[in-house]
Amino acid sequence: MSQHPPLNRSKLWSMVILFALPALIALTVYMLRDNLNLTSKSEGLLLTPPLSLDMLQLTTLDNTPVTPATFADHWWLIYLTPPACGDECATQMAKLHSVHLSLNKNMSRVKRAMFMQGDSLTPQQLQPAEQDNTLTIAKINNPSYLLSNCSVATDESLFIMDPLGNIMLCYAPQQEAHAILKDMEKLLKASRIG
């Protein structure tokens, strides 16, 4: 009859702790995740659920309906103009243009659009925008759909839309360009589409 040596209790407890410790740490982090600020944050307002491009009722300047296929295959920086557009429209478009240029190698994955509420731009204001071949201009016939779902919007706002036609982020008009750029870079890094 062979006798087994008695199990050393300190070794037994050290093994139990060694295997239980990672589970306890994971449980603690899970329970305290809100206090630890581990969630990623966007600079803009995340629209949950995202807004559908189909609901905007977009038309061209000559009132031809715009199909969602027009916006496929690219990410979009969108500026919703106020009903009466002054100098702020040029400022907002310059902001989106600077964000677009700052994307460097990812610039080809992103396009810019201006959604006009009614005839918010005079022909003199519209002329430079029409000459910009990197800008898509459309009239929006249902601006309340965007504005009512974006709590930071006034009568104008900035948006990011994915290549599938989902408007996912909304920004107040006074949002700084580097904040929009930061969100756009995060989205492009995480996305395999567009």
Q: Can you spell out the DSSP letters for 126-172?
A: HHHHHH-TTEEEEEES-HHHHHHT-TT-SS-EEEEE-TTSEEEEEE-
Examine residue 173 and say whether the peptide bond preceding it is cis (omega within 30 degrees of 0): no
Distance CA 124, CA 121 (A): 8
Task: Report, as an integer, the average pLDDT of 5-9.
Answer: 68
Tens digits of residue pLDDT in 15-67 = 888 888 888 888 888 887 766 665 557 789 999 899 999 899 999 988 899 98
pLDDT of residue 87: 81
Is 100 a residue whose pLDDT tops 70?
yes
| H or E stretch at 77 | strand 75-80
Cβ–Cβ < 8 Å for 109, 75: yes
Distance CA 60, CA 72 (A): 16
pLDDT of residue 40: 59
Cβ–Cβ < 8 Å for 59, 118: no
Per the listing, tokens 């459309």 go with 138
pLDDT of residue 1: 52
Distance CA 34, CA 23 (A): 19
Q: What angle do CA 155, 95, 52 make, to 5 degrees?
A: 50
Tens digits of residue pLDDT in 132-179 = 888 999 999 989 999 999 988 888 899 999 999 999 999 999 999 999
pLDDT of residue 86: 79
**Which CATH number is associated with domain 45-190?**
3.40.30.10
Percent of the chain with pLDDT over 90: 48
pLDDT of residue 77: 97
Cβ–Cβ < 8 Å for 77, 160: yes
* Model confidence band, residue 105 (pLDDT cutoffs 50, 70, 90): very high
**pTM greater than 0.85:** no
Cβ–Cβ < 8 Å for 173, 152: no
- Outline where the chain has alpha helix (H): 9-31, 87-102, 123-131, 143-148, 177-190
pLDDT of residue 169: 95
